[in-house]
Structure 1
Amino acid sequence: MELSNDIQQDIGRLGDETILNNNNYEKIVDKTFLLFSQTSSSSSLFDSLSIDSILLNRLVSSLLTFIFECAKYDLNDANILSKFEEYNLTLKQRQQYFIEKYRQYIKIIQIYLNEKTIEYDRLIDINWRLNLHLKTNQSDRIVQPNYFLTLKKRLQYTKNIEDIQFQCTPENLQELVEKLKEAAHCLERFTTTPTTTKTK
């Protein structure tokens, strides 16, 4: 999880009692989480806060980004607390208040992310088995290799694991491997190609 320096500083400001008192902090957290379930206009949500509008917009924007990243990487309480310490939001009461709200809204946030953003299921493991058919009812001698593969993937924005199982011949498997190698080479060329600059 990588956040820009500006966002890290804004998260730290949320824990600064000289900038926000506890009441305003809780209101910002409450209303930011409400954005995920608010059906009407969100422009009036923050009207009751007596905070400079520029600062308020920055804090809400940075807090939203932090929430998105926590959900994207499926951070647990300990991970979130570690990030708060890293970003200098060290007040235990404020840390705990955020975590309680995060637990309350995480399912809604995951639904929101699934609907509004593009994120792909993640392949986390591959298991394979070679089956060798030696004979059938019609023949006493037949050697027919067949691969049985199980792909394990984590569903987007969740901890749920799903198995994809299929069988294929050695030729099919070789073709799949070649296509994956080709895709990997394309990605490598894309990520290592130096940016061309115009010379005057």
Structure 2
Amino acid sequence: MELSESVQRGLQLAAEPSSVDHRGFQALVDSCFRSLLSSQGDPAVLDEPELKHVDRIQLKQVHSAATTFILEAVKQDADKSAVSSSLEELSFSTERIEIFYSSYQKHKKELERLLASIGRSPARINDVSWRLQYNTKNGQLDKVNEPSYLISLNTENQGTSEDISFTCTTEQLQDLVGKLKDAAKSVEKASQM
């Protein structure tokens, strides 16, 4: 599975027993699946007693990375070997892989139904706007000095207009542009047949 650097860093934190102990890891995995399957966002999803000793910033980073990984695995219909090899590359112990995979297997069908219900037809992009942001500092490091791009897509789906905004690094933006060019070439080839 292809994962962004931030997702990889978050998962590597989850793999470290010094960051999240064994009981905390089980509670974390359960809270990730619970937050994905909950119909309303529960602000107290990370307020488990087993997670009280984990740094709140790291906990949010790990939760975000784990839920992203779960959704990507469900989207790709990943089997045990794919999930295991991806987690092994991120330094997960065999025990933590088993804990994660048993929850994944238990909730996979529900998550597939949830993802399938999101929508059948893709939204049409009407307009794109972007802005360059240059981060010089953040709360954890003195100097960051890295650019990021705020991309906003104005989309329309079944007569409803919606703005979708996301932030990406230079590498992620280059990857997105490359994939869009590949898609445009594929559509052009298909239309010439």
| TM class by smaller structure | 0.5 to 0.7
In structure 2, the partner of 1:188 is: 185
In 2, Cα distance between the equivalents of 1:45 and 1:7? 19
Letter in 2 for 1:25: F
1:15 and 1:94 in contact (8 A); partners too: yes
Out of 85, 88, 96, the position equivalent to 1:82 is: 85
Choose between structure 1 and 2: higher helix proportion.
Answer: 2
Does structure 2 conserve the Cα–Cα contact (< 8 Å) formed by 1:36 and 1:108?
A: no
Q: Distance in 2 between matches of 1:186 and 1:109?
A: 27
Gap runs ≥5 in structure 1? 121-184, 192-200
Given residue 17 of structure 2, which amino acid in structure 1 is its aligned partner?
E
Task: Give the Cα separation in 2 of the matches to 1:119 and 1:102.
Answer: 27
Which residue identity lines up with residue 187 of structure 1 in the other structure? A
**Counterparts of 1:24 and 1:45, CA distance in 2:** 13
Shift of 1:71: 0.7
- Secondary structure of 2:185 counterpart: helix
- Superposition TM-score, scaled by structure 1 size: 0.57
CA shift, 1:10, in A, is 1.4
* Structure-2 residue corresponding to 1:111: 113
- Distance in 2 (CA, whole Å) between partners of 1:35 and 1:119 is 25
CA distance in 1 between partners of 2:101 and 2:10 (Å)? 17
Shift of 1:41: 3.9
Alignment of 1:116-131 (within 5 A): 116=118
Tell me if the contact between 2:11 and 2:62 (Cα under 8 Å) persists in the aligned partners.
yes
Separation in structure 1 between the aligned mates of residue 45 and residue 66 of structure 2, nearest angstrom? 15
Which ranges of 4 or more aligned residues in structure 1 deviate by more than 6 Å?
A: none
Kept after mapping to 1: 8 A contact 2:13/2:58? no
Cα deviation for residue 17 of structure 1 reads 0.8
Counterpart in the other structure of 2:140: none
Structure with higher Rg: it is 1
The answer on 1:28 being equivalent to 2:28 is yes
RMSD: 2.7
1:126-155 CA-to-partner distances (Å, cap 9, x unmatched) read: xxxxxxxxxxxxxxxxxxxxxxxxxxxxxx
2:38 is matched with which residue? 38
Q: CA deviation at 1:186?
A: 8.2
Q: Contact between 1:36 and 1:112, CA under 8 Å: does it hold in 2?
A: no
Partner of 2:47: 47
User: Aligned pair in 2 of structure 1 residues 69, 38: CA closer, same or farther (>3 Å)?
Assistant: same
Q: Does 1:60 align with 2:57?
A: no
Gaps of 5+ in 2: 123-181, 189-193
* Residue matched to 2:127: none
| 2:64 maps to amino acid | S
SS of alignment partner, residue 14 of structure 1: helix
For residues 97 and 186 of structure 1, what CA distance do their matches in structure 2 show? 38
- CA distance in 2 between partners of 1:45 and 1:25 (Å): 14
- Provide closer, same or farther for how the CA distance between residues 84 and 112 of structure 1 changes in structure 2, counting only shifts above 3 A: same
Q: TM-score, normalised by structure 2?
A: 0.59
**Contact 1:84/1:95 (8 A) holds in 2:** yes
Q: Which amino acid aligns with 1:76?
A: D
Structure 1 distance, partners of 2:31, 2:24, is 10
